[in-house]
Amino acid sequence: MILCIFISFQCGAQIIDTAKNIDLKTFNGLKAVQENVLIGEIRDPFVVRPNKNRVLFISAINIAGYGGSLIALNQAWYANYPRSSFHFFNDNAEWLQMDKIGHGWTAYNTGKLSTAMWQWAGLSHKKAVLLGGLSGAGYLTAIEILDGFSSQWGFSWGDMTANVVGSGLFISQELLWQEQRIQYKFSFHRNSYDDAMLDKRADDLFGKSWYERMLKDYNAQTYWFSANIKSFFKQSNLPAWLNVAVGYGADGMFGGFDNKWNDTQGNPITRYDIQRKRQFYLAPDIDFTKIKTNKKWLKTVFTFLNAFKCPAPALMLDSKGKLKIYAIYF
């Protein structure tokens, strides 16, 4: 799911950067509105009519981006596994729900990016939010349907719920506050398992390269809800960029449901000595879109970075009662 948002960000960042170099007086002669479509700080100060050319352009980008990535995903992933008739699969207990949290993050950030592009095209704030915000859940629904026709998986109502929650978090904040006071973020660190058997299992299950591990190793991922303090306390003297983040992660997982698998010779391996643990985090964070700069390229970088948690000191409490302090946590 993380791969999908990377594809969207790559396309969207170019569009937003281009938009910042265009004089917005083309919208019916209104005064130029600088930096009107920054992700995380979406604004609609003037009522404008949609720009037909931009609407067509963004429509084409969405069709090409979503459609092309679905075709590529089907060929690169689903084509390698047997097909089946459409069926459902209850995977709610897998991976201590880390995959579900990832679905929500992807729906949230895809919707946020898409909304910014639709506002650049001239749609009203409400229309852009509804169209863009729902596109993330819609895209992931298409992937879920592909799962439903694969014998290895199935259509998951748990995944669908997570998709809707992610989109709903974005849409509800925009309609209520016209800003994202609570950002949905992601962080990753490369795990070293210090055990030859576990290292081999991790390579087989999660891949060997850093990007495969980032996408697949649920033991090394953390998802965060990062709240901007000043957005809730407007009269405070706190820095506008300061956030407080609550994170969720997990560890000790070497299979979807339990730590049992077969080796290359087909011999069963059980590692029930390894505890599967939930982990809860508390850490400071940065809302990069609140950092003032006149450099357009830097604002584009900040827009991209805001989907990811800034490395910082952190407290961690796991489901077994262990408390740990990190000087820097990724």
Q: One digit per residue, pLDDT tens: the chain, 330 residues?
A: 444 444 344 444 444 444 434 333 333 333 333 344 344 444 444 445 788 999 999 999 888 888 888 888 787 678 778 999 999 999 999 999 999 999 999 999 999 999 989 999 999 999 999 999 998 899 899 999 999 999 888 999 999 999 999 999 999 999 999 999 999 999 999 988 889 999 999 999 998 888 889 989 999 999 999 999 999 999 999 999 999 999 999 999 999 999 999 988 889 999 999 999 999 999 999 999 999 999 988 988 998 899 999 999 999 999 999 999 999 999
Q: Are 201 and 254 in contact (CB under 8 A)?
A: yes
Is the pTM above the cut of 0.85? no
Question: Where are the chain's structural domains?
Answer: 1-180, 181-330
Count Cβ atoms below 10 Å from residue 97 Cβ, excluding itself. Answer: 18
Strand, helix or coil for residue 321: coil
Residues 6+ apart with CB under 8 A from 28: 48, 49
Residue-wise over 30-65: b if at least 16 C-beta within 10 A, else e?
eeebeebbbbbbbebeeebebbeebeebbeebbeeb
Residue-wise over 154-193: b if at least 16 C-beta within 10 A, else e?
bbbebbbebbbbbbbbbbebbeeeeebbbbbbbbbbebee
